[in-house]
Amino acid sequence: MPDEPHPLHEPAPRWRRRKEARPQEIVAAAMDVFAERGFAAAKLDEVAGRAGVSKGTLYLYFPNKEELFKAVIRAAILPNLEEAERMLAADDGPSFALLERLLTMVAERVLTTRIAVVPKLVIAEAGNFPELAAFYHREVISRGFALLAGLLRRGIARGEFRPVEVEHTVRLIVAPLLFGAIWRSSFEAAVEGGPLDLRGLVAAHLDHLRRALRPEGGPS
């Protein structure tokens, strides 16, 4: 253990910090490569190259390609989901405004982070890694759906929304965001005609949702 020669309170020397950051650097590089190529076509050589380490080093942190893949998925998702849960727990205002903030936040993330590739990766590999699909379903989809279902039920209870079928509506709310993520990660590069106007799409979606959720005889 020759790497702890320094007393406390001293700024950690750069290379020590790197050492601790290694796993994250590798995960970040892997995310890029998996995003571009998919799981099977991604080469660990390339991951190592982009992470600035040797191929062997990958195996110091991840037992194999599959676990690295799972780590990528987990790393991309959990912080976002936790933030969304915090947001909903902390907000007790009008339900539609909350829905609005939620969708807008997700759209922003899809546009500005690499999280958009996660659905694509999970969709593509669900058949080859059923446990990964189950994990994703349990940790991401179910939690996300539950969160939205809670929001809807609250709005219905308060009379803000008409009494829609919650389970279906949750999926209808999510679908356009999934569409956006998939578009960004699969078609944007291969297709002319400029990027998808995801902000406009979400605005239109919210416009539709407002009308669709409006209590029957209620005010516009």
Partner DNA sequence: AATGAATGAGAATTCATTCAT
Partner DNA sequence: AATGAATGAATTCTCATTCAT
Interface residues with its own copies (CB under 8 A)?
A: 35-41, 120, 122-128, 130-131, 133-134, 137, 141, 164-165, 168-169, 171-172, 174-176, 178-179, 182, 185-187, 189-191, 197, 200-201, 203-205, 207-209, 211-212, 214, 216-217, 220
Judged by beta carbon, residue 62 or residue 136, the one nearer its own copies is 136
Q: Which candidate, 157, 142, 2, 133, places its Cα nearest to that of 69?
A: 133
The two tokens of residue 44 are 């660990």
User: CA dihedral in degrees (198, 31, 34, 69; nearest 10)?
Assistant: -120
Q: Which of DNA, its own copies, none does 54 bind, CB closer than 5 to 8 A by kind?
A: DNA
Give the burial class of 185: count Cβ atoms within 10 A of its Cβ; 0-12 exposed, 13-18 middle, 19 or more buried: buried
User: Any contact of residue 56 with DNA (CB under 7 A)?
Assistant: yes
Q: Which candidate, 49, 72, 48, places its Cα nearest to that of 60?
A: 48
Q: Which of DNA, its own copies, none does 104 bind, CB closer than 5 to 8 A by kind?
A: none
User: Any contact of residue 9 with DNA (CB under 7 A)?
Assistant: no
Total residues in contact with DNA, by rule CB under 7 A: 25
Q: Which candidate, 204, 98, 83, 89, places its Cα nearest to that of 155?
A: 98
Contacting residue, 4, 5, 7, 15, with DNA by CB under 7 A:
15
